[in-house]
Structure 1
């Protein structure tokens, strides 16, 4: 496009009331190859926060892209659509992100990109351990805002099996630092989201109940935790049958709550039932049997 054409286009768009940023963006967009446009659209899914390049590669791999991502990333930086903050860390300006999200909705692959983004975030969440170390917390810190986008904005593109994972990852991140107040809304939203999608007919609802009850117990909110544990136990039995490892876990959870309250006579039969079930289902030589033995021994102590 000749300079005169560009100036004429900008003048026309300005007279039509279009902002200079939007006009310049349109010219930039038209000059991009389809691969660069697709990458820019994918980047618009990320939160307004630093974006680790490894997460972009992960999201692209779930969409089975075969073109050169890094080369197209360089093009986006050169065209001021993407800012490089540090090596392999990028960010998009909020106005540019807004304009890119409009382009995203026009792409034939928009749902594919959103699903790929969500799958990448689920993979990150699954790597956050139940009790993360300081090193693990530091490694995942940049991913947290993007996990939040998957859990909230793009929740509809999470598969049934994956729906719960971004919430679990976010809650583990905060609980691992003792930040129970920040973890609480993610557990509450997990329960709300799973109930909305599945009503009470999916194990993820029982998992969400258990996770929220565990947090209440950690805060000393025993009267809030008990009905959730009881509901989770009943739901797990109904959905998975009486003979399932998840039932033993629920029994242990409820027994642990009773123990914390000094209700030892209520806790003992649940621990004994959980131990017997774990041995029956997993055999005598299994780590979960050792955990059940320890739980019962601690109660007797």
Structure 2
């Protein structure tokens, strides 16, 4: 929870990291070198480093996970998309927007083949791509991505799902930043309506 001290959180991350690293050692003894379980171990280690803000270590772990998944899994397996997505998030967090965009687009390309056309993970990828374009100042591309995400979320999710509120909010902020104030207001109002129902008072 948010009231935990930094020391408690850091201790929990250290414990998690230690546990995942022990798991990796055991797998190295028990499994062939490119077994897909190794990819999960490296991915888990990457997630912990990511939460700790150790982005270069997170990226290294995610990339090792991806290399193994490329060997162990079929070329359009959803776990490959998850790897590209995680790598994209790290690049986004360190401000490497073109690399983030490339990773998110690789993830989306796999998801389009591997998943049904209105799967929520496709919506998440379009949203991520929109966020990057927005930060790059490519507002029309950002808006297009946000809108594609929203279309899928309207089909895939219940009408008052918080992710719909997030989509309307993103579209609202983008319209506000380009001076489309009435469109922005409309999106913010839709977002607020959903949040009133979806979130506790």
**Correspondence 1:42-61 to 2 at 5 A:** none
Give the superposition deviation at 1:287.
1.5
Q: Match for residue 261 of structure 1?
A: 136
Sort the Cα spacing of 1:263 and 1:180 in 2 relative to 1 into closer, same or farther, 3 A. Answer: same
Which secondary structure state, in structure 2, belongs to the residue aligned with residue 154 of structure 1?
helix
Post-superposition CA distance 1:205-232 (Å, at most 9, x none):
0000011011111111122222221111
Structure 2 counterpart of 1:174, from 29, 43, 49: 49
Structure 2 Cα separation of the partners of residues 293 and 184 of structure 1: 31
**Correspondence 1:93-242 to 2 at 5 A:** 134=6, 135-151=8-24, 154=27, 156=31, 164-242=39-117
- The two structures have a TM-score, normalised by structure 1, of 0.51
Q: Match for residue 118 of structure 2?
A: 243
Sort the Cα spacing of 1:226 and 1:146 in 2 relative to 1 into closer, same or farther, 3 A. Answer: same
Give the superposition deviation at 1:176.
2.1
Any gaps of 5 or more consecutive residues in structure 1? 1-128
Higher gyration radius (CA) = 1
Equivalent pair of 1:150/1:166 in contact (CA under 8 Å): yes
Q: How many positions carry a matched residue from both structures?
A: 170
**Correspondence 1:29-40 to 2 at 5 A:** none
Structure 1 Cα separation of the partners of residues 56 and 117 of structure 2: 34
Structure 2 Cα separation of the partners of residues 207 and 247 of structure 1: 11
Sort the Cα spacing of 1:137 and 1:228 in 2 relative to 1 into closer, same or farther, 3 A. Answer: same
Equivalent pair of 2:21/2:41 in contact (CA under 8 Å): yes
Sort the Cα spacing of 1:252 and 1:152 in 2 relative to 1 into closer, same or farther, 3 A. Answer: farther
Any gaps of 5 or more consecutive residues in structure 2? 177-201
Cα RMSD, aligned residues only: 2.6
Structure 2 Cα separation of the partners of residues 217 and 144 of structure 1: 23
Equivalent pair of 2:35/2:72 in contact (CA under 8 Å): no
